[in-house]
Amino acid sequence: MAKVITFGIQKGGSSKTTTSGIVAYLLSQKHRVLAVDMDSQGNLTELLTQQDIYNFHKRTVFEALQIQDARPFIHKITDNLHIIPAEDHIARFASWLYDSKNPYRGNKSLVLMETLGDVQSDYDYIIVDTPPALGEQTINALAAANVVVAMFEASKFCYSALGRFLETCVHVQEKVNREMKIAGILRCMIDVRRTDNKALIELAEEVYGELCFDTVITRTAATGRLSINGFENNPEIKSAVAQYLEFIEELMDRVNGVED
């Protein structure tokens, strides 16, 4: 059964999508991977497919969630990397959930988990990208996860959001999915020239200790250009993903630790 890894924080610009995409890409070099885009911006969809999100109109995760069946909405990127894409309409997910005419009567936090249930045996890992908000999309993504990675950009606003996000994870653990674990905090988007960035990175480690991954991701131009150049036939790909190789090793150690 696939291990479901959700990346999240309710703060935009924290590298959730870039990290989700790179992790999905790197894992797919040796494993079967399904990426799931739960953000109405559809940035993970564009990053991995290099297509406009409207090319997937009515063939997205929102339609999958409505029938709790992922299979008809899985799109092949490579032999080992597939995606359930997103477009704007997933923003209607919460209103759909609570619509009195909606025939769904299960636990509203478990719709994504139920949707992925029949395809988990087809993959080794499922990577879930989330929107920058603590709404139903994110709650479902947390409830479906085996492990969660909290993203931390070195900014005061993101530091304020981090504690609330971790509290939400604990709430989901206690109320919905006791098997879900917090893998750790990935500190990223760091500008090494800024002393305030360095101070916030150190503060996060001081407060959260071993929950922080040792790997710290700094800003690089090659990584920033992934959204333009994509992963295939990208002459910069090695330098674009190089920093994430150590993070992948750490993440797999923690995922396997959860498995044990």
Tokens of residue 207, six digits: 């407060």
- What mean pLDDT comes out for the span 123-140? 96
Q: Which residue has the higher pLDDT, 12 or 260?
A: 12
Q: Which pTM was predicted?
A: 0.95
pLDDT per position as a tens digit, 183-229 = 999 998 777 678 888 888 889 999 999 999 999 998 899 999 999 99
Domain count, the chain: 1
CA 63 to CA 69: how far, in whole Å? 9
Q: What letters, b where the CB count within 10 A reaches 16 and e where it falls short, cover 4-21?
A: bbbbbbbbeebbbbbbbb
Task: State the pLDDT at residue 191.
Answer: 74
Read off the tokens for 83.
């995606």
Q: Which pLDDT tens digit goes with each residue over 71-94?
A: 999 999 999 999 999 999 999 999
The CATH number of residue 255's host domain is 3.40.50.300
pLDDT for the residue 240:
94
Residue type, 42: G
> Residue 260: pLDDT band by 50, 70, 90 thresholds?
very low
152: helix, strand or coil: strand
- The residue segments making up the domain with residue 108 are 3-259
> Residue 230: what residue type?
G
Please provide residue 258's backbone torsions phi and psi, each rounded to the nearest 5 degrees: -65, -40
Tokens (6 digits) for 239: 């330098």
User: Which pLDDT band, with edges at 50, 70 and 90, does 13 fall under?
Assistant: confident
Count other C-beta atoms under 10 Å from residue 117's C-beta: 15
Neighbours of 248 (CB within 10 A): 16
Instruction: Say which residues have a Cβ less than 8 Å from residue 206's Cβ, sequence separation at least 6.
Output: none
pLDDT value of residue 26: 98
Q: For the stretch 74-94, what's the b/e string if a residue is b when 16 or more beta carbons lie within 10 angstroms of its beta carbon? A: bbebeebbbbbbbbebbbebe
Strand partners, 181: 147
User: Can you state the angle between helices 237-259 and 16-27, rounded to 10 degrees?
Assistant: 80
- Taking only the tens place, the pLDDT of each residue in 231-253 is 999 999 999 999 999 999 999 99
Please state, for a pLDDT cut of 70, what percent of the chain lies above it: 98
